[in-house]
Amino acid sequence: MSIFNISEKKEKALLDRMRELNVSENDLEERFIRSSGPGGQKVNKTSSCVCLRHIPTDITVKYQRERSQALNRFFARRTLLDQIERLQNGFTREEKKRIEKIRRQKRKNRKRAKEKSAPVKPDQEKQEKADEI
């Protein structure tokens, strides 16, 4: 059974990413506080908001979007890993993919515009007729 109440695939991906970024569970300080906002009595009575702190970098993440504490724990870790990756590399994988996609689109558009504005070459027959005259 999953500790975050999510699919095994997603949990494995999260743990692999933590290993890849050299973040261990011992480096994390986790606190649970009462959420605020929509959700009614359920949110007001339970401590479903997760405050997660990475001790070596002193990055703190507070996550309370879901009503479930287990889901908030998972999403808080994922958000924290995004911030750590951005700190180490200057960007995340998703940002890099998005930037590369935009570059490909711009390259394609430049190529189309260049082909469109290039002068049309006359056919060989027209050229030959012009030479004869």
Residues ≥6 apart with Cβ < 8 Å to 76: 50, 51, 52, 61, 62, 63
pLDDT of residue 39: 72
pLDDT of residue 1: 58
Is the whole model's pTM more than 0.75, yes or no? no
pLDDT of residue 125: 56
pLDDT of residue 16: 93
Identify the segments of the chain with pLDDT beneath 50.
Answer: none
pLDDT of residue 26: 92
Indicate which CATH number applies to the domain containing 52. 3.30.160.20
The number of distinct structural domains making up the chain is 1
Which domain does 29 fall in, by range?
A: 8-91
Do the beta carbons of residue 30 and residue 73 sit within 8 Å? yes
Measured over all CA atoms, what is the biggest interatomic distance in the chain, rounded to whole angstroms? 95
Q: How many other C-beta atoms can be found within 10 angstroms of the C-beta atom of residue 3?
A: 9
Residue 42 lies in a domain: yes
Give the integer Cα–Cα distance in Å for 66 and 70. 9
